[in-house]
């Protein structure tokens, strides 16, 4: 028998930095949870962010927000881990894997020791490798260890194409798959705009340059970090969307990082594919229609992630 408060009652956010605090704020405004607990190795930071959030909450829907300990996460339905190594400038997400692995391992160990049995959502970079680290340590089903993956990249893709094609982002049905990082794959072969393929929708004008669009989406985080030093709003919103799909048992299809078990010849790795999300986490992993080139690129993305995993001691099982 699991020991959880009812869905939507409590969420634990581990890490009170830019992403963790912004996610807590967005969750508060969305009123998805009645209780939000912030956990951080820097207790003063967690207390300060919780106090600031409570000030904002006085003008929002009632919620209990406080700085707590891992024991407070025991009955949470979701624990979001944002704590990890930080990248700077043009530094790749994969470059901080070793430092992040130590932090994520410690966070997961303390969550499980406290008796947590809910869904773990990883938002620490490199998110795919850290999701595998968390899965290996948690002892939970892979359906309940999820990475934010390429949900943010997919949002960036839709936004970029919407601007170029003169439509709302919601009219663009497209996916970014694989690594949340430099080897990510834009699935142009299955992309639709208003039910049409991109070339047909753009006609008689030429369709947007695919390589240029993919590069713009891939480099978006670097552009933001050059200007402000970090990213926060986009990934925080992705966290909220995933939590919403779980808490409301939506059975929504979102591209998130999940454990592959042989799909496309890839196994024992976390990377992003479209997944059906409901109350128990990931209910089904989908394989979209891809061109042979896109399948090869996805396998290349998997190879890059596996190499990083091996470099930090994550040998294949």
Kindly state the average pLDDT of the residues 52-75: 95
Which is more confidently placed, 97 or 28? 28
The reported pLDDT for the residue numbered 73 is 97
Question: Annotated catalytic, 18?
Answer: no
Joined tokens for residue 110: 């303390």
Judge contact between 87 and 99, C-beta under 8 A: no
Share of the chain above pLDDT 70, in %: 94
Please indicate whether residue 85 or residue 76 has the higher confidence score (pLDDT).
76
List, in order, residues 6 or more apart from 305 with CB less than 8 Å away. 126, 128, 129, 179, 183, 269, 270, 271
- Between the alpha carbon of residue 208 and those of residues 169, 198, 316, the distances in Å are 15, 8, 40
Enumerate the domain spans of the chain. Answer: 10-147, 151-311
Residue 268 pLDDT greater than 70, yes or no: yes
Residue 166 main-chain phi, psi, to 5 deg = 75, 35
Predicted TM-score (pTM) of this structure: 0.94
Cβ neighbours, 10 Å, residue 225: 17
- Angle subtended at Cα 315 by Cα 314 and Cα 317, rounded to the nearest 5 degrees: 115
The CA distances from residue 124 to 132, 133, 226, 266, in Å, are 12, 11, 19, 23
Q: How confident is the model at residue 74 (pLDDT cuts 50, 70, 90)?
A: very high
**What is the structure's pLDDT at 296?**
97
Q: How far apart are CA 178 and CA 191, in angstroms?
A: 16
Pick the CATH number of 151-311 from 3.90.1150.10, 1.25.40.10, 3.90.110.10, 3.90.245.10: 3.90.110.10
Q: Are 56 and 28 in contact (CB under 8 A)?
A: yes
pLDDT at residue 266 above 70?
Answer: yes
Round the average pLDDT of the chain to a whole number and report it: 94
Q: Is the pLDDT of residue 97 over 90?
A: no
Q: Is 88's pLDDT higher than 90?
A: no
Residue 256, strand partner residues: 273
pLDDT tens per residue, range 108-166: 999 999 999 999 999 999 999 999 999 999 999 999 999 999 999 999 999 999 999 99
Mean predicted confidence (pLDDT) in 26-40 = 96
Average pLDDT over residues 247-275: 97
pLDDT at 6: 59
Question: Which pLDDT score, from 0 to 100, does residue 1 have?
Answer: 37
Please report the pLDDT score of residue 314 as a whole number: 85
Distance, CA of 259 to CA of 276 (rounded, Å): 13
State the pLDDT at residue 96: 81
pLDDT at residue 91, as a whole number: 55
- Residue ranges in the chain assigned as alpha helix (H): 18-30, 43-57, 97-113, 127-138, 151-165, 198-202, 210-218, 220-228, 233-247, 292-311
Measure the CA–CA gap between 282 and 258, rounded to whole angstroms.
8
Fold of 10-147: Rossmann fold (3.40.50)
Q: How far apart are CA 187 and CA 288, in angstroms?
A: 9
Strands 119-122, 35-39: pairing is unpaired
């Amino acid at each position: 028998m699991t020991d959880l408060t009812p869905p939507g009652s409590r969420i634990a956010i581990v890490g009170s930095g830019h992403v963790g605090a912004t996610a807590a704020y967005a969750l508060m405004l969305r009123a998805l949870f009645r209780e939000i607990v912030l956990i951080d190795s820097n207790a003063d930071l967690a207390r300060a962010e919780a106090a600031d959030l409570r000030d904002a909450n006085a003008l929002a829907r009632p919620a209990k927000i406080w700085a707590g300990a891992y024991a407070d996460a025991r009955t949470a339905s979701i624990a979001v881990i944002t704590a990890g190594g930080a990248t700077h400038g043009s530094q790749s997400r994969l470059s901080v894997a070793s430092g992040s692995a130590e932090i994520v391992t410690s966070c997961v160990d303390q969550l499980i020791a406290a008796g947590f049995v809910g869904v773990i959502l990883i938002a620490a970079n490199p998110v795919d490798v850290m999701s595998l680290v968390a899965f290996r340590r948690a002892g939970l089903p892979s359906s309940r260890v999820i990475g934010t993956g390429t949900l943010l990249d997919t949002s960036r893709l839709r936004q970029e194409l919407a601007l170029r094609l003169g439509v709302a982002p919601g009219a663009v049905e497209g996916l970014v798959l694989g690594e949340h990082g430099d080897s990510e794959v834009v699935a142009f072969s299955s992309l639709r705009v208003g039910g049409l393929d991109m070339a047909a929708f753009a006609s008689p004008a030429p369709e947007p340059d695919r390589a240029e669009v993919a590069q713009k989406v891939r480099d978006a985080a670097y552009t933001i970090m050059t200007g402000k030093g970090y990213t926060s709003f986009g990934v925080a919103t992705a966290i909220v969307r995933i939590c919403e799909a779980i808490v409301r048992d939506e059975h929504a299809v979102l591209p998130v990082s999940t454990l592959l078990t042989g799909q496309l010849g890839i196994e024992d790795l976390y990377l992003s594919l479209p997944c059906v999300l409901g109350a128990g986490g990931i209910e089904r992993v989908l394989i979209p229609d891809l061109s042979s080139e896109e399948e090869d690129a996805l396998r290349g993305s998997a190879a890059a992630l596996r190499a990083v995993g091996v470099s930090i001691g994550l040998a294949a099982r």
